[in-house]
């Protein structure tokens, strides 16, 4: 696999977008892709480090910038914005997870400067960042290289004019082996320690400087024309779970310098080679689709957390979008990829939910319910982090009221759904018996307290927001009611399994204190929970939806810009929806519907959906593939695969759309490959686009690693490790054994 993404036009306004799509990370550290020679507001993302902030409760902290450089030649600063730019080339190599930069400049004194660099965030050594750079000048002179740790970083807030300071400097020190800065969040909860060293292969004079901006190393050397001078910048970033931050940071810095750049780079490449052996997907017949797909996978992998203190955030380690909060995006869109390809990481992300189960219980109690109600947005502590309002002006007189934190309750069932999906895919009984079961039981308990009984309709759920967020305060959301029912039935199912299994299963039942009587109540509610009415086979999205003003949209277009102003101003009074809602429910709960019912609902809702959310097209694409709407499925797949590369939503600068990236993988897995799990058996029903000759991918199923080659008329399955697996394709059943390959054909 050789995928490079090149950019050859410099535009200061585009740098923020480049910053996101050229981000490098390893789950612990995120370094955005802005060019290191220019100033930027963006520093370093350290996953899991949050602080209190106005309106948004807690947000990911913009940690000190460590990758930047300031370079002077004969006293003139090297700057892309003030000198004549002769060449600008940047290339992201996702195979090796590196970013290269090549820049040629003409100085104001008519000299020529060539600069090139290789940047990486080490895959295996989670605290290490490396920058190797070379400089060549067209005349003799004095070269000064300043390598800072910029501690004066701030977070952008709800308006561009407002910045939020989250860090105070606790320590800055210069030692023989490098410079060090330590900062602490204003709430005192986290500390970040950074050690940095700049090495020159040529003898240079070294000093250090301290200022309000931070601490820096300064190397000065006499240079000859047309000779190349090479430098390596080593940076170690540790956060407060490491004891003795300064001592540990310098120790790791010294170890890295002792190994040297080349050995560290080789180790990094080997790490990514192992990643790609498992994660890459090959598409015969469509290299552009293959490229976009693996670009999405690359950014998912870079963002997977290193432990269970935090889960995958909406915009990853790439930016401040959604303040670094965790949404349903993680469980429904991104986690299935990790469940199948990196199941241990999926478990850690689900453990984040379990570790915050007490906060979810408190949230439910605060809102007058029982059990566990997971927050719509959460940060490091698991409490509700959704702002109730966002000011639109500096005085705070104009505000936008946000109701999702108060009403978008389906996330609680979404998490229970993800827990069961993980168990179906992995068979991880230790997780399910100790942790997953408790999540499912406590979320069912929430729904049992959330419903109301109506004499005519049965059990109803009032005043919610479904995935379609244009319509607020609705009653009986189709998606919410169905997912709540699923959650209740799931809890009853696993209650019975637990009773009959003993061991940790029974201990969990005793800990949660669930009784037969309570479970019977759950089943009674599930049986009588209200489903919105149908008209000609179409399910009403919520009570009263069919009575709203109709408006038809082109399914191949997306966004709200195409709407007339009077429609945009009254979206809640129309049938227009923001994203997949009824169709999302039919995707997740596919077994509850026949294909003809799904088709009728798809045909109805697809022409009433703006896709103004990046979450919308993946489920529509998957269902479109089931229905043999190949052109539409492929169109959505390609839009999703290139959503950030082409900045289709105009907000890529805020971070990567990781949920969409997970959705891209699901379009492949559940849509085009048609892979489902039923009764411990893998079912495959290929629906590849006609131009695709084959797809090759790997995934885990219950600790067995499978390699598949899928064509529209043939499925090849090889078991690379683990126990025998049952396979069904084209109406034929087979079993693949270790080391063997089976072939099933139409």
Residues 57 and 128 in one domain: yes
Contact 171, 154 (CB under 8 A): no
Instruction: Let me know if residue 742 belongs to a domain.
Output: no
Cα gap 533→272, rounded to integer Å: 51
Instruction: Supply the pLDDT for residue 718.
Output: 98
CA 468 centroid distance within chain: 20
What is the enclosing helix (H) or strand (E) of 719?
strand 714-721
Instruction: Let me know if residue 176 belongs to a domain.
Output: yes
CA proximity to 342, closest of 294, 295, 297, 290: 297
At 639-698, the pLDDT tens digits run 999 999 999 999 999 999 999 999 999 999 999 999 999 989 999 999 999 999 999 999
Strands lying side by side in the sheet with 214-223:
76-77, 70-73, 141-150, 214-223, 205-211
Instruction: Supply the pLDDT for residue 106.
Output: 95
pLDDT (mean) for 705-729: 97
Residues 354 and 451 in one domain: yes
Instruction: Identify the CATH number of the domain in which residue 506 sits.
Output: 1.50.10.10
Residues 318 and 459 in one domain: yes
3-state SS assignment for residue 23: coil
CA proximity to 737, closest of 700, 702, 706, 695: 706
Residues 115 and 225 in one domain: yes
Q: Which of 648, 672, 696 is the last residue of a domain?
A: 672
- Owning domain of residue 93: 4-250
Between β-strands 725-729 and 681-684, what pairing exists: parallel, antiparallel or unpaired? parallel
Q: What is the mean pLDDT of the chain?
A: 96
Q: Which of 672, 694, 714 is the last residue of a domain?
A: 672
pLDDT (mean) for 176-205: 97
Instruction: Let me know if residue 26 belongs to a domain.
Output: yes
Q: Which residues contact 696 (CB under 8 A, 6 or more apart)?
A: 281, 282, 284, 707, 708, 709, 710
Cα gap 485→479, rounded to integer Å: 10
Checking if the pLDDT of 2 tops 80, the result is no
DSSP 670: I
Instruction: Let me know if residue 256 belongs to a domain.
Output: no
Cα gap 41→19, rounded to integer Å: 11
Query: What separation, in Å, do the N-terminal and C-terminal C-alpha atoms of the chain show?
Result: 30
Checking if the pLDDT of 1 tops 70, the result is no
Checking if the pLDDT of 572 tops 70, the result is yes
Q: CB count, 10 Å around CB of 673?
A: 22
At 458-512, the pLDDT tens digits run 999 999 999 999 999 999 999 999 999 999 999 999 999 999 999 999 999 999 9
Q: Which of 655, 672, 689 is the last residue of a domain?
A: 672
Buried b (16+ CB within 10 A) or exposed e, 402-430: bbbbbbbbbbbbbbbbbbbbbbbbbbbee
Instruction: Supply the pLDDT for residue 394.
Output: 81
Residues 314 and 235 in one domain: no
Instruction: Identify the CATH number of the domain in which residue 246 sits.
Output: 2.70.98.40
Q: What is the DSSP string of 369-426?
A: -SS----SSB-SS-S----SEEESSTTS-SEEE--HHHH-THHHHHHHHHHHHHHHHH
Checking if the pLDDT of 161 tops 90, the result is no
pLDDT (mean) for 93-112: 95
3-state SS assignment for residue 275: helix
Instruction: Let me know if residue 704 belongs to a domain.
Output: no
At 257-268, the pLDDT tens digits run 999 999 999 999
CA proximity to 680, closest of 720, 731, 741, 733: 733
Residues 504 and 456 in one domain: yes
CA 354 centroid distance within chain: 19
| Total domain count, the chain | 2
pLDDT (mean) for 568-577: 96
Checking if the pLDDT of 242 tops 90, the result is no
% the chain with pLDDT above 90: 95
Instruction: Supply the pLDDT for residue 393.
Output: 83
pLDDT (mean) for 102-107: 96
Instruction: Let me know if residue 174 belongs to a domain.
Output: yes
Residues 206 and 326 in one domain: no
Cα gap 488→371, rounded to integer Å: 12
Cα gap 108→84, rounded to integer Å: 8
Residues 230 and 291 in one domain: no
**pTM summary value:** 0.97
Instruction: Let me know if residue 546 belongs to a domain.
Output: yes
Q: How far is CA 103 from CA 12, 31, 70, 380, in A?
A: 15, 20, 14, 40
Which residues are tagged catalytic? Answer: 469
Residues 190 and 298 in one domain: no
Cα gap 629→637, rounded to integer Å: 12
With vertex at residue 408, the alpha carbon angle to CA 403 and CA 411, rounded to the nearest 5 degrees, is 145
Instruction: Supply the pLDDT for residue 395.
Output: 79
Instruction: Supply the pLDDT for residue 345.
Output: 97
Instruction: Supply the pLDDT for residue 272.
Output: 98
Checking if the pLDDT of 296 tops 80, the result is yes
Residues 246 and 357 in one domain: no
Between β-strands 141-150 and 714-721, what pairing exists: parallel, antiparallel or unpaired? unpaired
3-state SS assignment for residue 504: helix
Residues 335 and 221 in one domain: no
Instruction: Let me know if residue 650 belongs to a domain.
Output: yes
Span of 58-72, 83-97, 239-253 with lowest mean pLDDT: 239-253
Q: CB count, 10 Å around CB of 573?
A: 12
Residues 20 and 67 in one domain: yes
At 339-396, the pLDDT tens digits run 999 999 999 999 999 999 999 999 999 999 999 999 999 999 999 999 999 888 887 7
Q: CB count, 10 Å around CB of 456?
A: 6
Checking if the pLDDT of 726 tops 80, the result is yes
At 323-343, the pLDDT tens digits run 999 999 999 999 999 999 999
What is the enclosing helix (H) or strand (E) of 429?
helix 429-431
Contact 574, 549 (CB under 8 A): yes
At 436-466, the pLDDT tens digits run 999 999 999 999 999 999 999 999 999 999 9
Contact 690, 285 (CB under 8 A): no
């Amino acid at each position: 696999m050789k995928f490079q993404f090149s950019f050859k036009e410099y535009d200061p306004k585009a740098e923020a977008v480049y910053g996101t799509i050229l981000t490098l990370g390893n789950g612990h550290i995120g370094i955005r892709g802005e060019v290191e020679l220019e100033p930027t507001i963006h520093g370093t993302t350290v996953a899991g480090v949050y602080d209190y902030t106005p309106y948004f409760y807690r947000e990911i902290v913009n940690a000190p910038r460590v990758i930047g450089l300031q370079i002077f030649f004969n006293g003139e600063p090297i700057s892309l914005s003030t000198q004549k730019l002769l060449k600008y080339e940047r290339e992201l190599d996702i195979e090796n997870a590196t970013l290269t930069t090549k820049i040629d400049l003409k100085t104001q004194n008519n000299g020529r400067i060539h600069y090139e660099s290789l940047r990486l965030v080490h895959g295996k050594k989670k605290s290490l960042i490396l920058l190797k750079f070379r400089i060549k000048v067209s005349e003799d002179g004095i070269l000064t290289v300043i390598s800072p740790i910029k501690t004066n970083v701030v977070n952008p807030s709800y308006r561009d004019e407002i910045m939020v300071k989250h860090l105070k400097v606790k320590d800055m020190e210069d030692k023989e082996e490098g410079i060090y800065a330590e900062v602490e969040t204003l709430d005192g909860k986290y500390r970040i320690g950074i050690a940095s060293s700049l090495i020159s292969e040529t003898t240079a004079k070294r000093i250090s400087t301290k200022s309000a901006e931070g601490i820096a190393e300064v190397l000065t050397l006499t240079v000859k024309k047309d000779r190349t001078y090479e430098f390596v910048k080593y940076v170690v970033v540790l956060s407060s779970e490491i004891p003795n931050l300064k001592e540990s940071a310098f120790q790791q810095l010294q170890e890295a310098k002792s190994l040297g750049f080349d050995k560290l780079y080789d180790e990094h490449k080997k790490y990514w080679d192992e990643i790609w052996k498992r994660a890459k997907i090959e598409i015969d017949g469509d290299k552009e689709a293959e490229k976009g797909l693996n670009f999405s996978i690359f950014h998912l992998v870079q963002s997977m957390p290193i432990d269970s203190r935090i889960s995958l955030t909406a915009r990853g380690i790439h930016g401040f979008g959604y303040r670094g909060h965790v949404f349903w995006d993680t469980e429904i869109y991104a986690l299935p990829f990790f469940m199948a390809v990196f199941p241990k990481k999926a478990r850690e992300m689900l453990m984040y939910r379990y570790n915050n189960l007490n906060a979810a219980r408190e949230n439910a109690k605060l809102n007058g319910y029982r059990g566990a109600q997971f927050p719509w947005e959460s940060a490091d502590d698991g409490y509700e982090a959704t702002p109730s309002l966002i000011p639109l002006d500096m005085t705070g007189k104009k505000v936008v009221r946000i109701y999702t934190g108060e009403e978008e309750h389906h996330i609680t069932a979404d998490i229970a759904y993800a827990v069961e999906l993980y168990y179906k895919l992995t068979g991880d009984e230790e997780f399910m018996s100790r942790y997953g079961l408790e999540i499912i039981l406590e979320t069912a308990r929430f729904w049992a307290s959330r419903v109301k009984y109506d004499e005519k309709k049965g059990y109803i759920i009032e005043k919610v927001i479904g995935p379609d967020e244009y319509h607020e305060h609705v009653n009986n959301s189709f998606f919410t009611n169905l997912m709540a029912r699923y959650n209740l039935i799931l809890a009853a199912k696993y209650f019975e399994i637990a009773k009959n299994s003993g061991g940790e299963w029974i201990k969990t039942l005793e800990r949660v204190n669930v009784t037969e009587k309570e479970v019977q109540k759950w089943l009674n509610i599930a049986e009588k929970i209200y489903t919105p009415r149908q008209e000609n086979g179409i399910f009403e999205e919520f009570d009263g939806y069919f009575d709203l003003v109709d408006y038809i949209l082109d399914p191949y277009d997306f966004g709200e810009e195409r709407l007339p102003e009077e429609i945009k101003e009254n979206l809640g009074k129309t049938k227009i929806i923001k994203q997949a809602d009824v169709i999302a429910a039919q995707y997740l709960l596919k077994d509850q519907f026949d294909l003809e019912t799904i088709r009728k609902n798809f045909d109805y809702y697809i022409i009433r959906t703006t896709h103004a959310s990046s979450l919308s097209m993946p489920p529509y694409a998957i269902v479109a593939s089931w229905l043999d709407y190949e052109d539409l499925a492929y169109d959505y797949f390609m839009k999703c695969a290139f959503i950030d590369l082409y900045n289709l939503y105009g907000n890529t600068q805020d971070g990567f759309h990781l949920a969409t990236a997970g959705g891209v993988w699901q379009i492949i897995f559940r849509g085009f490959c048609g892979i489902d799990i039923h009764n411990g058996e893998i079912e495959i029903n290929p629906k590849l686009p006609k131009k695709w000759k084959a797809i090759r991918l790997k995934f885990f199923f219950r600790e067995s690693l499978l390699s598949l080659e899928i064509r529209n008329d043939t499925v090849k399955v090889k078991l690379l490790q683990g126990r025998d697996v049952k396979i069904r394709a084209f109406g034929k059943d087979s079993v693949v054994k270790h080391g063997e390959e089976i072939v099933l054909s139409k």
